Structure 1
Amino acid sequence: MQDFFNPYSAIRIHGSTLPHWQQGSAYVFTTWRLADSLPLDLLREWKAEREVWMAQHPSPWSQGVWDQYNELFPERMESWLDRGMGSCLLRQAALRRIVCLALRFFDGDRYTVAGFVVMPNHVHIVFQPMQGYLIEEILHSWKSYTSKELNKLTGARGELWQRGYWDRLIRSRAHFEHCLRYMRENPSVARLPAGDYTIFER
Structure 2
Amino acid sequence: MDPKPKLRTAVTFNPLDRSAELFVSERNLPHWFQPGAAIFVTFRTIDSMPKEVILQWQRELEAWLTQSGLPIALAASVVHGRFPDHDQMMRQLDPTQSIEFKRLSDRVFNRSLDECHGRCPFRDPKLAAEVAQTILHFDGQRYDLDRFVIMPNHAHAIVQFRTGFDLSVVGQSWMRFSARNINRLREESGAIWQPEPFDHIIRSDRQFAYLQGYISENPKKAKLRENEFLYWQRD
Could you state the TM-score of these two structures normalised by the residue count of structure 1? 0.89
**Distance between the aligned counterparts of 1:63 and 1:103, measured in 2?**
36
Equivalent residue of 1:175, what SS? Answer: helix
Deviation at 1:142, TM superposition (A): 0.5
Pick the aligned partner of 2:199 from 167, 175, 187.
167
5+ unaligned residues in a row in structure 1: which ranges?
none
1:5 counterpart = 2:37: no
**1:50 shift after superposition:** 3.7
Partner of 1:79: 111
Aligned counterpart, 2:54: 43
Q: Tell me the percent identity.
A: 28
Matches within 5 A, 1:25-36: 25-36=36-47
Deviates more, 1:165-174 or 1:22-31: 165-174
Matching residue of 2:189: 157
* Alpha-carbon distance, 1:66 to partner: 6.4
Tell which deviates more after alignment, 69-78 or 39-48: 39-48
Q: Specify the alignment match of 2:169 in structure 1.
A: 137
Q: 1:121 aligns with which of 138, 142, 153?
A: 153
Specify the SS of the correspondent of 2:182.
Answer: helix
Q: Deviations over 1:62-84 (max 9, x none)?
A: 98676345323332111011111
* Counterpart pick for 1:19 among 30, 39, 47: 30
Q: State which drifts further: 179-188 or 165-174.
A: 165-174
CA contact (8 A) 1:50 1:73 kept: no
User: Highest Rg: 1 or 2?
Assistant: 2
Cα 1:66–1:105 change in 2 (3 A) is farther
Instruction: State the 1:107 CA deviation.
Output: 0.3
Deviation (angstroms), 1:177:
1.2
Tell whether the 8 Å contact from 2:77 to 2:86 is kept in structure 1 after alignment: no
1:58 aligned residue: 87
Q: CA deviation at 1:155?
A: 2.3
**1:93–1:6: structure 2 CA closer, same or farther, 3 Å change rule?**
same
89-98 or 150-159, which moves further after superposition? 150-159
Greater CA drift, 102-111 or 38-47:
38-47
Superposed CA deviations along residues 50-70 of structure 1, whole A, max 9, x for unmatched, are 417854541898986763453
AA aligned to 1:123 is: A
Does structure 1 residue 96 correspond to structure 2 residue 123?
Answer: no
What is the aligned-residue RMSD (CA, Å)? 2.5
Aligned mates of 2:226, 2:216 — CA distance in 1: 12
Equivalent residues, number: 202
Q: Distance in 2 between matches of 1:52 and 1:102?
A: 30
8 Å contact 1:33–1:162 — kept in the other structure?
A: yes
Q: Counterparts of 2:98 and 2:130 in 1: how far apart (Å)?
A: 33
Give secondary structure in 1 for the equivalent of 2:87: coil
Of 166, 184, 189 in structure 1, the residue corresponding to residue 216 of structure 2 is 184
Take 1:124 and 1:65, find their aligned partners in 2: how far apart are those partners? 26
